[in-house]
Structure 1
């Protein structure tokens, strides 16, 4: 029996927690899987499973071996996929994660265009504002804001995270006092609650220098839901700190206007950039790089606006 086949059977058995269930999944007999695992144990000189009449449980050695075995099988699968794509074009599944706000702002349009250009690729996009460990969760790609210096990951800048102050024309008509660092407390605000943001201060910069401003006192609505705040900005309820990428369409159609255009608004803890982040072992993945290139081209239109 070949070692690679035995490793595949070992991983399946560990995943299923049973020789019989793993055998059924692989279309083999339980005795074939038992023989394969026994062969590995003989080669390694240690038990991989503790066996009883009712169940099997990974030993400490088994847990260590399982992690490496998964990596070996994943690397071989990825290598085979890459070689296939050299001859047949881009294909297969690309699994990615991104923040919820990206979907409505640009990711939906990017995915639609990418699928049209690469008809043999399937996308699996999972949206979450929670931090996700790309390697542990098995993602090919993560789209993020700010910074990324975690080991085992490559981060590529695909867009700028420019921050605007925006309100609806209706709000501006009702509140004609021009917005400036000196008039902030005379306007209504919509406040985004996020653990990465300073809830007390924000920064602006002009030709006169960089200024730290206390957060305005007249907050009409605060929420940890950015979409809720954006809808209220469109409805004229107040002024919103907002990334350009999330309001570009509304600025173009006139549903929102930009205030304090002569100032650069600090991006705070979110950082200056939008990043495409992927595991370093995927550095040569053609489908990952193709999506990153497509996304960067799309966002470049916003960056140049």
Structure 2
């Protein structure tokens, strides 16, 4: 029996805590699984399982060996995929997770272009603020506006996360006057409710100085960004909008940037949007191709410089 088959049987047996259940899943006989594990134990000179008539459990050596066995099988699978993809068109699946607001702003365009170019790849895109673990969720790639602490992950900056104060021409025509921090309270505000964002104060940078401003009362607040954006476009008030979201509306004249220049709101979500993926996905061609398409889409819409 080859070593990789034996490793696969060992891993499934460890996950199920039973040789018979492992055999059932793999389409093998219980004796074949028992024999495979015994061969590994002989090669290692250590027991991998403690077995009694009622139960079996991994030994300390078994727990150590299980991690290495999983990594070996994963690397072999990735290598097989890469070789197949070099010889044939991209295929299989690509799982991506990102915050909901990224979808309509730029991620949908990139996904559409990727599907057009590689129709044999099945995309799975989860738009959620839950920030699920990449390994536990089985994701190939994540986009985050706050990478946080993720030891063991590759983290690459993608684009700036600068906030712009925006309003529609209709709102400005109706309310008139210049918008400044001094008259914030006189305006209608659309505010995003989020665990990372303060509901009492804003920190604003002005010519190198950090100034704390009390948040004005909200005319409308919501935990859904796209809902607030629709109300902003409809002329219901003022809103701080990420540049990557505001760009097309500013270009078409559907929104106007206010207080451009010296004033800058400090974002609770961090200064950049990031790409995150597991180290063993670094060389996966599907991930590389998707990132290239994503960057190209962002460049075309003026969100990345051509040389980025």
TM-score (norm 1): 0.87
- 2:256 is matched with which residue? 257
* Cα displacement (A) at 1:184: 1.5
- 1:156 is matched with which residue? 156
Matched, 1:15 2:15: yes
- 2:291 is matched with which residue? 292
Tell me the distance in 1 between the aligned counterparts of 2:230 and 2:47. 59
What are the residue-to-residue correspondences of 1:209-248 with 2, within 5 Å?
209-248=208-247
Tell me the distance in 2 between the aligned counterparts of 1:266 and 1:116. 38
- Alignment: residue pair count: 303
| 8 Å Cα contact 2:142-2:276 kept in structure 1 | yes
What are the residue-to-residue correspondences of 1:1-305 with 2, within 5 Å?
1-147=1-147, 150-199=150-199, 200-205=201-206, 208-263=207-262, 265-300=264-299, 301-303=301-303
| 8 Å Cα contact 1:161-1:267 kept in structure 2 | no
* Cα displacement (A) at 1:263: 4.2
Tell me the distance in 1 between the aligned counterparts of 2:261 and 2:281. 42
| 8 Å Cα contact 1:153-1:279 kept in structure 2 | yes
Q: Which runs of 5+ in 2 are unaligned?
A: none
Between 1:90-99 and 1:289-298, the stretch displaced more is: 90-99
Deviations 1:88-113 (A, max 9, x none): 24333222211121112221221111
Q: Which runs of 5+ in 1 are unaligned?
A: none
| 8 Å Cα contact 1:6-1:37 kept in structure 2 | yes
| 8 Å Cα contact 2:134-2:278 kept in structure 1 | yes
2:131 is paired with a residue whose SS is coil
Tell me the distance in 2 between the aligned counterparts of 1:236 and 1:75. 53
1:69 is paired with a residue whose SS is helix
With over 3 angstroms needed to count, the CA separation of the structure-2 counterparts of 1:78 and 1:260, relative to structure 1, is: same
Tell me the distance in 1 between the aligned counterparts of 2:16 and 2:115. 34
1:152 is paired with a residue whose SS is coil
Deviations 1:13-52 (A, max 9, x none): 2233432232222221111111112222333343333434
With over 3 angstroms needed to count, the CA separation of the structure-2 counterparts of 1:233 and 1:95, relative to structure 1, is: same
| 8 Å Cα contact 2:109-2:297 kept in structure 1 | no
Deviations 1:37-68 (A, max 9, x none): 22223333433334344544334433332222
1:270 is paired with a residue whose SS is coil
TM-score (norm 2): 0.86
Tell me the distance in 2 between the aligned counterparts of 1:233 and 1:113. 29
| 8 Å Cα contact 2:202-2:266 kept in structure 1 | no
Tell me the distance in 2 between the aligned counterparts of 1:20 and 1:147. 42
Tell me the distance in 1 between the aligned counterparts of 2:177 and 2:14. 67
With over 3 angstroms needed to count, the CA separation of the structure-2 counterparts of 1:78 and 1:245, relative to structure 1, is: same
Between 1:123-132 and 1:142-151, the stretch displaced more is: 142-151
Between 1:7-16 and 1:132-141, the stretch displaced more is: 132-141
| 8 Å Cα contact 1:244-1:302 kept in structure 2 | no
